[in-house]
Amino acid sequence: QVQLVESGGGLVQTGGSLRLSCAASGRTSGTYHMGWFRQVPGKERDYVAVLSWIGGNTYYADSVKGRFTISRSYVEDTIYLEMNSLKPEDTAVYYCAAQTRKRGYSGSEFSADGYDYWGQGTQVTVSS
């Protein structure tokens, strides 16, 4: 079991910045990837950024590339999402997730279905 607790959401103006945190606890040693996803009402949960838990490789959705940065604290088992140059279209509930089981298809780390544990979500609202 892995427990995930997010924090850091809020209201910000266009062009502003926020940093989200996700504290992981429990059996994190078997984690393959940690990811940030976001969801708006009526739409699917979309991949934002992914970090390989062991190798530290990072991946970003095209919509956030160059503006968002995913990182990890190895001491505290916490991942972060630094969000800069925020736009109104970034408004969503942001979730962190942990992938602890291998899937039988490539690219599973970029799909919500590829993750086993989720945080409670944190609202990010960007005003125009």
The per-residue pLDDT for 119 is: 97
| pLDDT for residue 55 is more than 90 | no
Mean pLDDT score of the chain, rounded to an integer?
95
What is the per-residue DSSP string for 61-124?
-TTTTTTEEEEEETTTTEEEEEE-S--GGG-EEEEEEEE-S--SSTTGGGSGGG-SEE---EEE
